Structure 1
Amino acid sequence: MEALLILGGAVVFLCAWVWLAVTSRRLPVGLFVVALALPMLTLLLRRKGYSRPARLLLLTGILISAAGVALLYREQPEQFDQLISGSWVTQPSDSALSGTLMQQPFVPNDVRWQGKHLIFAEKAGERIRRSLVVKFDRAEALLQGTAIDLLPGDTGPWPELVLQWYTGALEQPGLRRLDGGYSMSLALAAQGPGQTEMVVHLHLPSEFGTRLTGVVVIDGQPQWLGKSAAVPEPRPAPEPAPAPEPSRTWQEVSILALLDEPQMYVGQAVRLTTTSGKEFAGTLTAVTDDKRVVLALPQGANQVDFQFHPVDIQRLQARPRQ
């Protein structure tokens, strides 16, 4: 509605401007130039020969657009800030992250570690439009090394996710919390003094409508980056007894080959090792349009599909079909 008022007012204004200029051709040169270059000034010049209907239409267009801008400021202050600041022309380039937050577009331009909290915030000026905070207060054991990987079904304390979004000046901000059941992969690497490159893949359950992916370079380096703790080696997944046929042994699979020709591997038993050292064994069911590898893993009497981003896969092995 706001956009229609603003655009409609602009169209009315342009039509009135053309009308005013055409009807002012017989006036002295000075008055004609005013109508041609400064049409709004004609609203203050009375009894100069300017067309009254054209000036009334000009004023109507201005009032319609002003009403649209006022409504935009009241209902969607973040879009108003973008309009005033001109950021609707150029998108922020200081962050390569993008995704959705509660089904709204989410492009964080303020990413930082603040103690045990990882903050993703999308700002318009000084106003925070949307934010996602990962709180590691209850999962400090994850803060070590250079990568953090979580998949649904993993045990142990999970970081709490806090989602906030703002829809208008007259509405209360939205707030949701989640303390497990999502997929998250963070890979960090020091980039010279005082900077850290972070690869982010975050996917929440469908009812949250939230995902975030991309690469960003942030200022500062977490104190825990590169440190390690005494963690027992992960136990390999139990394997079925080796078949006597040589063709049934595990064979190394190139990630690029899988992405190029997924139909050759779909349906095969697969053993996958992530960059964090975790190992998963299941059946390869698909490669999604956004190049994620889908693996079906047994969960008791059921089967659960997990998705892995190619950059998180260190090793991939498959058993050929019989």
Structure 2
Amino acid sequence: MDALLILGGLLLILAGLIWLVMLAFGTSLLWGWGSLIPPITLVYVLRHWRTARKAVALAGLGFIPLVVGLTLLASHDPVRLAAILSLDWAKPAYQAPAELDIDLHGELNGQAFAPQHAELIDGVLSLREGQDFFARREVKIRLPQGATKAPIRLDVLPEDSGNLPEVEVSWLLPEQDLPEARRLSKGYTLHLDLQALPPNKLNGDFHLVLPAQYGTTLSGRLELFTDRLRYRDGQLDTAFDSQETLVHVVEDHLQRRFASRLVQVQPIPLVTFPTTRVPLTVTARVNGQDQQVELVLRKGQSGWQVEGDHYPQLAQSTSAPSKPSSAQVPTPREPSRPTVDRRVRFSLLRLLSNPQQYQNLSMRVFKVSGGAAEGRFAGLDSDGSIRLSQQHGGAGQASFTLHPDEISRVELLEP
């Protein structure tokens, strides 16, 4: 109501001023042009009051709803009124500096492509445009094993064959609820020359050209993250929302709690961001022994921290590690067990019958109506719907669900 009164009052005042200028032009051309200058407008009103009084009265009537609307706004939302009167809305919006220095030029599916986020995590190089759960446009390159450690130098030509990176491009049209995707295992041109940029970045040259029917070319300088941690002034930024940040906070807490740096935290349950409070049951190996601890993580002004954390910092060890005695007998290491590849014989039925086995694994879901979605498996809802989550760089983490009746096929992307 207050907004309508304010808007109506402003419209009446504007109509009165326009009418006044029209009356001035009707008096003479000189008065008309002069009335466009506020001081001369006032002189015209005083000299030709009988002619101008109708327009002045209309403009004066506009102040009545304007004052009433501002009074109502001040009574229930004074902060908004102060922002309006301070004219902050007229100032140009502040744009935060980009986290990554990305200077790429090109197109994807025939449309201009300007990625804002890039990362190389778990062997997948991802270039993403858009901050929603599904990217408007995205390029993913799954690098072969052994080609993910800096420096990365890789050249692929259309005629090459063998163990080549898999390239996937996807785009989301306005009328679609899931993006379309295309994958290539050969027949494209790729050039990567990336160098390490401490603490957790790579930067260098990037060049990608897909066959003409895909309408995709991308070339320039690229900077990307190698994990989901963020640093500020050389220190870890614990305010950033990611699984890795929580693991670091938990590990630091346990090291100080048990006064030992020999702490290995097991994977924690998947957390959906944004949130400010996370209760966790953490399993960790401390000094060679398994420990299970109940913790509550809370996000405050200084970032994520464990509730009730009053343990002091660990002293820096300056003494050299002692050499093992010759009398000590080395403990035989247990033979490593072969890793089971869960992608073998994976299906939607296996996922629904034993969801715990695939928790937090990356998978791709194909919808019956078309389109595909990719994310990490976050469990099943009460109605049996599959819930996937995605980490969006600085945008946090998002999740979505698909009912089994909507799914035609599920593909597991890691062992």
**With structure 1 as the length reference, what TM-score do the two structures score?**
0.41
**With structure 2 as the length reference, what TM-score do the two structures score?**
0.33
